[in-house]
Amino acid sequence: MSISDTIASIGVIILLIAFVLNLFKKVSAESRTYTLLNFIGAATCGYASYLISFYPFVVLEGIWAAFALLSFLKVPRGTSNKK
């Protein structure tokens, strides 16, 4: 497995953790935890895509990461994770 595969796998795992936590109502889609996991996962996947020069995914993951970061910065500290 190449380094870009490892990085991409880590990013995907982080995104899936956020998805599953939200699906089972452990975190709200508006929580800081969820938005931070989405930012880290998307940024990691975007970087891995950059390493292999797959630019459509760099754009997709870059936009995903940017919106997740904006959402993270808007959510007040102390916001409950649960729905």
Q: Given pLDDT bands bounded at 50, 70 and 90, which one contains residue 29?
A: very high
**Angle of helix 32-51 relative to helix 55-74, nearest 10 degrees?**
160
Q: pLDDT for 1-12, tens place per residue?
A: 999 999 999 999
Does 83 have pLDDT greater than 60?
Answer: no
How much is the pLDDT for 81? 60
Kindly state the tokens that stand for 65.
Answer: 């990461």
Q: pLDDT for 31-79, tens place per residue?
A: 999 999 999 999 999 999 999 999 999 999 999 999 999 999 997 876 6
Question: DSSP label at 76?
Answer: P
Domain boundaries, the chain: 3-74
d(CA 15, CA 7): 13
Q: Which of 22, 4, 29 is nearest to 79 (CA)?
A: 29
